[in-house]
Amino acid sequence: FKGFFAWGMNPAVSGANSNKTREAMTKLDWMVNVNIYDNETGSFWMGPGMDPKKIKTEVFMLPCCVSVEKEGSVSNSGRWMQWRYQGPKPLGDSRGDGEIIYELAQKVAALYKKEGGVLPGPVLGMNWAAMGDGHEFDSHKTARLINGYYTRDVEVKQPDGSVKVFKKGQQVAAFPDLRDDGSTTSGNWVYCGSYVDADAAKGNRAAKRSKEQTPAQANVGLYPNWSWAWPVNRRVIYNRASVDATGKPYAPKKAVLEWNAAGKKWDIDIVDGGGAPGAIHPFIMQVDGLGAFYGPGLNDGPFPEYYEPLECPVTTHPFSKVLHNPTALKFEGEKHNVCDPRFPFVCTTYRVTEHWQTGLQTRPQAWLLEAEPQMFCEMSEELAQLRGIKNGDKVWLENTRGKLWAIAIVTKRFKPFTVQGQTIHEVGIPWHYGWRWPKDGSGGDAANLLIPSVGDPNTGIPESKAFMVNVRKA
Side-chain half-sphere CA neighbours of 50 within 13 A: 24
Could you tell me if residue 433 is inside a domain? yes
Closest residue by Cα to residue 186 from 176, 172, 168, 199: 172
Could you tell me if residue 103 is inside a domain? no
Could you tell me if residue 158 is inside a domain? yes
| pLDDT confidence of residue 192 | 97
Side-chain half-sphere CA neighbours of 320 within 13 A: 11
SS3 percent helix, strand, coil of the chain, rounded to 5, is 20, 20, 55
| pLDDT confidence of residue 440 | 86
Could you tell me if residue 468 is inside a domain? yes
Please, which residues have CB within 8 angstroms of residue 195's CB and are 6 or more apart in sequence? 140, 143, 144, 146, 147, 171, 203, 204, 205, 206
Note whether 407 and 377 are within 8 A (CB): yes
Among the candidates 147, 176, 207, a domain finishes at 207
Could you tell me if residue 29 is inside a domain? no
Could you tell me if residue 417 is inside a domain? yes
Chunked into runs of 10 residues, the chain (474 residues) has average pLDDT values of 93 93 96 94 94 95 94 94 96 93 93 93 88 91 96 88 92 94 95 95 96 97 97 95 96 97 95 91 90 84 88 91 92 78 95 92 92 96 97 96 96 95 96 90 93 91 92 96
Note whether 265 and 255 are within 8 A (CB): no
DSSP 98: H
Which residues form the domain of 407? 345-473
Could you tell me if residue 201 is inside a domain? yes
Q: How many domains does the chain have?
A: 2
Cut 0.85: pTM above it:
yes
Give dist(CA 234, CA 273) in Å, integer.
Answer: 10
Give dist(CA 151, CA 185) in Å, integer.
Answer: 7
Among the candidates 178, 207, 236, a domain finishes at 207
Closest residue by Cα to residue 205 from 160, 270, 300: 270
Give dist(CA 34, CA 102) in Å, integer.
Answer: 14
CATH number at residue 359: 2.40.40.20
Among the candidates 180, 207, 234, a domain finishes at 207
| pLDDT confidence of residue 159 | 76
| pLDDT confidence of residue 30 | 97
Could you tell me if residue 26 is inside a domain? no
| pLDDT confidence of residue 437 | 87
Note whether 399 and 453 are within 8 A (CB): no
| pLDDT confidence of residue 156 | 86
